[in-house]
Structure 1
Amino acid sequence: MTAPRTADAPVTIFGPDFPFAFDDWITHPQGLGELPPERLGSEVAIVGAGMAGMVAAYELMKLGLKPVVYEASRMGGRLRSQPFEGGQGVVAELGGMRFPASSTAFFHYVNRLDLQTRPFPNPLTPAAGCTVIDLEGQTHWARGLSDLPPLFAEVAEAWARALEDGAGFSGLQQALRERDVPRLKALWDRLVPLWDDRTFYDFVAQSPAFAALSFRHREVFGQVGFGTGGWDSDFPNSMLEILRVVLTGCDENQHLIVGGAQQVPVGLWHHAPAAHELRHWPAGTTLASLHQGAPRHGVTAIARAADGQLALTDTWSNTRHYPAALTTCQSWLLTTQIAVEETLFSQKHWMALDRTRYMQSSKTFVMVDRPFWNDLKANGWPTLGMTLTDRLTRGTYLFDNGPDKPGVICLSYAWMGDALKMLPHDTHKRVQLALSALQKIYPDVDIASHIVGDPISVSWEADPHFLGAFKGALPGHYRYNHRMYSHFMQDAFPAAERGIFIAGDDVSWTPAWVEGAVQTSLNAVWGIVRHLGGRCHAANPGPGDVFAQIGPMALPD
């Protein structure tokens, strides 16, 4: 399965529900598997050209299949890097923009494409320069936690103690670091039935560490949090989901992709694997070359054809048959945008797909003439800092692209109710609202005078191809997540339900993090290879080969 690691190994997204070493599997010299000779060159359908779709298509191409990619909107999915007009390549990251170093399978592809990364300017990190926290009209400037009033350190300490007392956090994370599968499974599986039915807020409020403090401490934790910022938009979510995030290091040591995250899925579209990695196809083959340059149009219907194959119909009413298909779109689209024949999924799976709950998210960006926030004031502090506030903007991030390029400000990054406040407004109104809020924090700074070009904004819940930013599992959703995640294991399915697969971060145990999209797409690769009569090399077993031994625990229905 996987070789244990040392006690000081870095934290990675290794489980905890399914502790399979995806990073080792995709780098093994034996490759991901092999197909029967008669299957080489066969077409398989990939619905969606986001990260999950492109990883699956890229790996299936290497194995000798011909992925046929369908995309209804634009390549990249929620890795959407929108260029500013005339901005010398400067982009607004409308979707995923910060990627934890623990995302080792994702960074395998980043490194393969030779893309540059740098630390993301999260609050209280060196990359941010300084952080400004504005709550209830009081503003604090800080370069580290020690610069803030004692209340903030008390909140941080209470959160650490709550994790230790309620989940045995340090022992759990150590088992994850060492990739000690039996120990990790034993510790995690004990927590699943205890925490699935409880909210994140309940965990915080009922912990002895926070119970000994004031409501104000919980309020500050919700508004500011630590690592990536405020947590209160996640308070209704299952505690299991939050525990996975902090356990696997998703909220720390994050990086951005220089030039934009969309380069990763688009880069896989154009990347030619080494000749020794390709089976069946000639050296130099790329996904783009197999498609004559562009993916097919969006899918409008999926059904079981008379020949037993899957029939996919696109926007222009073209229908093609495939022995296997992978859908990587958000699960709600399988009932709202695509007419999927009901018998392709069991009713249990339909329940899980339909009960997925998506979180709202809004971002508003402006390009500025230069990174003027680096100008020092008389007191030695920068003009602006990364800003966390209880005002309408919630989170404001500053992106310095160098002295020879314009800077970018994410004026507002908001979630759930705060994102819905922006939904009715056009981009210019959103900028005005954000500038008005920031003027109260920085009364002597004229941000508007530095804005150049047109601003850019997004509300993911308003996009018919997404209907939300990402999944946020509620208490009691573990069973639904289990059904979706394990769907690639199809040996026990009736014939009518085989051959169609699902992947994406909403199928994963770590929604909102691109590593979940990558890992579930690799699960689907294994499933498709098996469905077509292929197998993994004995020296490099795949996720399905070990699923019975280390797969996620199942709660009774």
Structure 2
Amino acid sequence: MQHPDRPAPEVTAFGPDFTFAYEQWITHPDGIGSIPAESHGRKVAIIGAGIAGMVCAYELMKLGLHPVVYEAGQLGGRLRSQAFDGADGAIAELGGMRFPISSTAFYHYVDTLGIDSRPFPNPLTAAAGSTVIDLAGETLYAETLDDLPPLYREVSDAYDRALEDHVQFSALRAAVRDRDAARVKELWNPIVRDWDDRSFYDFIASSDAFRRLTFRHREVFGQVGFGTGGWDSDFANTMLEILRVNLLGFDDDQRYMVGGVQQVPRGLWTRQPDRMVHWPEGTSLQKLHGGSTLPGVVAVHREGDEGPFVLRDRWGRTERYDAVISTCQSWVLSTAMDFDERLLSQNMWMALDRTRYMQSSKTFVMVDRPFWRDRDPATGQERMSVTLTDRMTRGTYFFENGPDEPAVICLTYSWMSDALKMEPLSVNRRVELALDVLRKIYPHVDIASHIVGDPITVSWESDENFLGAFKGALPGHYRYNYRMFGHFMQADLPPQERGVFLAGDGVSWTPAWVEGAVQTALNAVWGVMTHMGGKTHAGNPGPGDLYPEHGPVDLGD
């Protein structure tokens, strides 16, 4: 049931590559399916305790299987919420922090766990209050788009026109909204063929809407963009990836989880499901594991071509399993594990190894109160605002818990080359650089005087368990994604490759978005259920049942 305080989405993450309504499958009163009684209790290894791993484990436990979760770092993966010491509700969201309401499968689990959410303070939204755009040394204050110079409206309108001209965006969005699978595929599949080899920047630069404008318009689009901010870090990516974000409403109506999004994977870990077979009432993943996940996996092999899978953890313990789900980022299979090459085809290894990950850095501080809400008596404007800039910080965001309560500033949120500038620096140096930038934009505000406690930072590319923030597919990568996403369909695979499944947002069509992780997890659940001799209920077909009819277009090799 949808939370009463959350608005209904205009569109949901229905397709466009695979037009399947995941949240309908997992909320159907008949359940997602069943496995034969003789398969109850069989063990399934799950590599990674992020949201994909937790969804897999939770749903497989409900089916009567015995999931065993391995984690090399922290439970939650890139849903990592770090609390500031000594303050209730002061959270640094180091990974995912913006969750669009179109992510209906993800919000099913949020609502099941009773986690509250609020509108994210994105630029030019009511939740932000005010926005400052600082480009080329010019600082502009705005509370709505109409407060900005006409150039910014021209940029926004040009992008809308480019979408209409190139991809019939309104018609395609209407088909997604109506869940008209045939119409979505009719419109989307030709776009895949036309735009697989072309980048986001190519889309902008070649559009008539932008060609009528100046380079300055394209520059502003890259620095400030639309919705949540600038898009120049994505300019090299395939345009298909950006179109999916626009089409599925991922850049609209975003929310954050009160108390931190890590509550979702942790909640699935401890929750005792209402409906479950085989296991006694009161069973949870935590209880099945004796309280903790197993250590990180260092080796994955198989006994013969159809025997059990053998996993060894970092402390030398060896266990056998009937199936394996890998939710870790694809490079880790090569850099951190002795993963038997026979278990995946060479074409699949090509796709996994060619996956390109983007860099990302964030730095947070806790402050004594949300002082940015103070009004300047001379101008009537808020003292500070959500800030988008071409300077090193790129994006600055504010999170508050009440007018006199400790609050949090994300001083800098940067990507790619801007993130790499931060990577070798200590947390204190990162704070100093960010404060120096913000001092130039807000010369009369002493931010440092409000800072309490120790700062928190992250650079995902320097974490050996991630090696980057998330996938950023390049032009020509559609075929790689096609191989990875459809790997859960295993009827035609040779025997030695059956029983290993892939999940996570990097396997999905929508990297960096939690819905992609949840959807691929549910694909893997269907795959394991089928591998164990199970099937879905007649009135509630699963993703694998509908994949031949509604799956992604095959461009061939």
Query: Which bin holds the TM-score, normalised by the shorter protein?
Result: over 0.9
Q: Secondary structure at the match of 2:456?
A: strand
| 1:338 is aligned to 2:337 | yes
Moved more, 395-404 or 245-254: 395-404
Letter in structure 2 aligned against 1:455: P
Provide the residue aligned with 1:97 in structure 2.
97
TM-score normalised by structure 1 residue count: 0.98
**In the TM superposition, what is the alpha-carbon distance from 1:192 to its structure 2 partner?**
0.3
Alignment check: 8 A CA contact 2:332 2:465 kept: yes
| 1:487 is aligned to 2:487 | yes
Provide the residue aligned with 1:70 in structure 2.
70
**In the TM superposition, what is the alpha-carbon distance from 1:87 to its structure 2 partner?**
2.0
- Alpha-carbon separation, structure 2, partners of 1:492 and 1:405: 58
Provide the residue aligned with 1:250 in structure 2.
250
Which digits, 9 at most, give the CA deviation of each residue in 1:328-355, with x for residues without a partner? 0000000001110011000000000000
Provide the residue aligned with 1:470 in structure 2.
470
Provide the residue aligned with 1:373 in structure 2.
372
- Alpha-carbon separation, structure 2, partners of 1:87 and 1:336: 38
Which digits, 9 at most, give the CA deviation of each residue in 1:199-238, with x for residues without a partner? 0000000000000000000000000011111000000000
Letter in structure 1 aligned against 2:283: T
Letter in structure 1 aligned against 2:244: R
- Alpha-carbon separation, structure 2, partners of 1:166 and 1:10: 22
- Alpha-carbon separation, structure 2, partners of 1:384 and 1:232: 24
Identity of aligned residues (%): 64
The root-mean-square deviation of aligned C-alpha atoms, in Å, is 0.9
Q: Secondary structure at the match of 2:166?
A: helix
Provide the residue aligned with 1:545 in structure 2.
545
Which digits, 9 at most, give the CA deviation of each residue in 1:152-209, with x for residues without a partner? 0000000000001011000000000000010001100010010000000000000000
Provide the residue aligned with 1:49 in structure 2.
49
Provide the residue aligned with 1:5 in structure 2.
none
Which digits, 9 at most, give the CA deviation of each residue in 1:298-345, with x for residues without a partner? 100100124711111101111111010100000000000111001100
Aligned mate of 1:282, from 280, 284, 289: 280
Provide the residue aligned with 1:263 in structure 2.
263
1:288-437 equivalences under 5 Å are 288-306=286-304, 308-378=307-377, 379-437=379-437
| 1:147 is aligned to 2:151 | no
Structure 1 residue runs without a partner (length 5+): 1-7
Letter in structure 2 aligned against 1:479: R
Q: Secondary structure at the match of 2:140?
A: strand
**In the TM superposition, what is the alpha-carbon distance from 1:9 to its structure 2 partner?**
7.1
Provide the residue aligned with 1:534 in structure 2.
534
Number of matched pairs? 548
Q: Secondary structure at the match of 1:188?
A: helix
- Alpha-carbon separation, structure 1, partners of 2:84 and 2:303: 45
Q: Secondary structure at the match of 2:127?
A: helix
- Alpha-carbon separation, structure 2, partners of 1:420 and 1:145: 31
Alignment check: 8 A CA contact 1:13 1:248 kept: yes
- Alpha-carbon separation, structure 1, partners of 2:290 and 2:401: 35
Provide the residue aligned with 2:4 in structure 1.
none
Alignment check: 8 A CA contact 1:462 1:468 kept: yes
Alignment check: 8 A CA contact 2:9 2:101 kept: no
Q: Secondary structure at the match of 1:17?
A: coil
**In the TM superposition, what is the alpha-carbon distance from 1:89 to its structure 2 partner?**
3.6
Letter in structure 2 aligned against 1:319: T
Provide the residue aligned with 1:159 in structure 2.
159
- Alpha-carbon separation, structure 1, partners of 2:327 and 2:69: 11
- Alpha-carbon separation, structure 1, partners of 2:66 and 2:90: 34
Alignment check: 8 A CA contact 1:162 1:207 kept: yes
- Alpha-carbon separation, structure 1, partners of 2:87 and 2:415: 27
Q: Secondary structure at the match of 2:409?
A: strand
Alignment check: 8 A CA contact 1:305 1:321 kept: no
TM-score normalised by structure 2 residue count: 0.98
**In the TM superposition, what is the alpha-carbon distance from 1:367 to its structure 2 partner?**
0.3
Which digits, 9 at most, give the CA deviation of each residue in 1:272-318, with x for residues without a partner? 111xx101111111100101111111100100124711111101111
Provide the residue aligned with 1:235 in structure 2.
235
- Alpha-carbon separation, structure 2, partners of 1:484 and 1:556: 14
| 1:441 is aligned to 2:438 | no
Provide the residue aligned with 1:82 in structure 2.
82
Provide the residue aligned with 1:59 in structure 2.
59
Alignment check: 8 A CA contact 1:9 1:178 kept: no
Provide the residue aligned with 1:14 in structure 2.
14
**In the TM superposition, what is the alpha-carbon distance from 1:43 to its structure 2 partner?**
1.2
Which digits, 9 at most, give the CA deviation of each residue in 1:360-390, with x for residues without a partner? 0000000000011111111221110000000
- Alpha-carbon separation, structure 2, partners of 1:305 and 1:143: 63
Alignment check: 8 A CA contact 1:88 1:405 kept: no
Which aligned runs of 4 or more in structure 1 are off by greater than 2 angstroms? none
